C-alpha cells in the first residue's frame, strides 16, 4: 500500500494567516493526489484534484502543488469557515489511501 503522511497533524492559526499543509507519499503517485476538507459530522469535500486543479466552486484562496511524492496545500488567507480538518488522498493505485489529517484550529 502507498502510505500518505501529512504534517503537521494540527496547527493553530488566525483569520487572515497563510497556512501550508504538506503530504508525502511513500512512493510516487505522479499527480494523482487529491485534497479534502472535512468539518465535524460531515463528509469530506474535495478541494483540489490531480495535485493542483481547483474543484468547481472552491474559493481561489485554496491552492496546491507537487508531484511524485511531495505535495503542498496552501490557504492564502484563512477565513473563519476554513477551520476544519484537511486530508490528502492518492488515487494513483488501489488501495486508495488517505493521509492522517491536519486539524486547523483557531488561535
Partner 1 sequence: QVHLQESGPGLVKPSGTLSLTCTVSGDSISSTNWWNWVRQTPGKGLEWIGEIFHGGNTNYNPSLESRVTMSVDKSMNHFSLELTSVTAADTAVYFCARLGRGFDYWGQGTLVTVSS
What whole-number distance in Å separates Cα of residue 35 and Cα of residue 72? Answer: 9
Q: Does 59 bind partner 1 (CB under 8 A)?
A: no
What count of residues does the chain have?
A: 107
Can you tell me which residue has the cell 469557515?
81
Number of residues that bind partner 1 (CB under 8 A): 23
Residue numbers 64-103 binding partner 1 by CB under 8 A: 87, 89, 91, 94-98, 100-101
Residues 6+ positions from 2 with CB-CB distance below 8 Å: 25, 26, 27, 29, 90, 92, 93, 97
Q: Which of 14, 16, 42, 81 touches partner 1 by CB under 8 A?
A: 42
Stretch that binds partner 1, among 10-18, 23-31, 49-57, 69-77 (CB under 8 A): 49-57
3-state secondary structure of 2: coil
What is the chain's alpha carbon radius of gyration, rounded to the nearest angstrom? 13
Q: Does 37 bind partner 1 (CB under 8 A)?
A: no
Residues lying near partner 1 in the complex (CB under 8 A) are found at 1, 34, 36, 42-46, 48-50, 53, 55, 87, 89, 91, 94-98, 100-101
Amino acid at each position: 500500500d502507498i502510505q500518505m503522511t501529512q504534517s503537521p497533524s494540527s496547527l493553530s492559526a488566525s483569520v487572515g494567516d497563510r497556512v501550508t499543509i504538506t503530504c508525502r507519499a511513500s512512493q510516487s503517485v505522479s499527480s494523482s493526489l487529491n485534497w479534502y476538507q472535512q468539518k465535524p459530522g460531515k463528509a469530506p469535500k474535495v478541494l483540489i484534484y490531480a495535485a493542483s486543479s481547483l474543484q468547481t466552486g472552491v474559493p481561489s484562496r485554496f491552492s496546491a502543488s507537487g508531484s511524485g511524492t511531495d505535495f503542498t496545500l496552501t490557504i492564502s488567507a484563512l477565513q473563519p469557515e476554513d477551520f476544519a480538518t484537511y486530508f490528502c488522498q492518492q488515487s494513483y493505485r488501489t488501495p486508495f489511501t488517505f493521509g492522517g489529517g491536519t486539524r486547523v484550529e483557531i488561535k
